[in-house]
Amino acid sequence: MAKKIYVGVDLGGTNVCAGLVDSEGTILARDERPTLARVSAEAPLNQICDTISQAVLNGGMTMADISGIGIGSPGPLDAKRGLIMRAGNLPHWYNFPLVAKVKERLGPYTCVQNDATVSAFGEWWMGAGKGLSDFFVLTLGTGIGGGAVSQGKLLTGFNDNACEFGHTSIDMNGVQCWCGQRGCIESYASANGIVRMANEALTNEHIESSLAEFRTKPDELSSKMIFDAAMAGDKFAEDMFRQAGYYLGCALVNALNILNFEVCAIGGKMARAGDLIFEPARKALYERGFQSYVNQVKIVPAEIPDDAAILGAARLVIEQGEAS
């Protein structure tokens, strides 16, 4: 019997990428193209269907060979009904029936789940989480996304809003977040968060730093500039990363004490700071976690950030059964 083949789709606001994946997690072929998110509601749908078709073609197959299509999409979404409720980066989609549309056009069984959630699933399947029962993934980007696998199953929650780790709080009286909560870790350890912290410090204190000039132009400061300054040995910039990392570790203790994961993998552009952010995060985790077992828990870099969403979306189809 031939191996079953699936398509995993990584849908972003800028690009959409499809991969042909076999049941062992090998990506056999792929295609990528711009999402055209701002053109119309139909344009990104066309791009999704075209990139899937092209990936299938690139793999030397036809749509009849495909056992199912999984899509990782920005949300909030309703996975059970296959709807994208609203997605910041896809402004023409409102309660958009993505699953029904893709299935209607292409044929195979189709399903959808949050992008951060499927990325965690992929990282668990073929990356840093391989073989673990309980695994947690963070993406430190402009915001902070998260996903978890618990006892080998993807954690989705009752309406697909699980693992909004960026909106767990380290301080109930902290910075007000748009989400309703105060002191969300996203306000400290994301790219936007570190810029916010640096601007706040530059405004309130006399600081010697190559970044001091931004005191008068806070809107021009970026996380990349703080990173570059830290790499060049700027103490203030280094401190900002250390602080972000320590706060991140504190937030991770809360997640650990709820999920009891064995490994947390961290990806995203902020993770590129490496030890500058990983070491203080580990310090907080090991200081503050249950001493009876926290030494068994690891924080590691994500291993397959570029493929995780495609693989996780494909794995989602495998788990949900193939109605092809």
Binding positions for a second copy, rule: CB under 8 A: 76, 85, 132-134, 146, 148, 150-151, 153, 155-165, 167-173, 179-182, 247, 250, 253-255, 257-262, 287-294, 296
Least distance from C-beta 66 to a second copy, angstroms?
26
Residue (52 or 111) nearer to a second copy, CB: 111
**Count of CB atoms within 10 A of residue 292's CB?**
7
Distance CA 117, CA 211 (A): 36
SS (H, E, C) 207-226: CCCCCHHHHHCHHHCCHHHH
Q: Where are the beta strands (DSSP E) in 23-143?
A: 27-34, 66-73, 77-78, 83-86, 94-96, 110-114, 135-140
Residue (59 or 75) nearer to a second copy, CB: 75
Least distance from C-beta 205 to a second copy, angstroms?
19
Phi, psi of 148 (to 5 degrees): -140, 145
Residue (108 or 147) nearer to a second copy, CB: 147
H/E element, 11: strand 5-11
Least distance from C-beta 240 to a second copy, angstroms?
17
Residue (14 or 173) nearer to a second copy, CB: 173
Residue (198 or 263) nearer to a second copy, CB: 263
Distance CA 106, CA 98 (A): 12
Least distance from C-beta 246 to a second copy, angstroms?
9
Least distance from C-beta 72 to a second copy, angstroms?
17
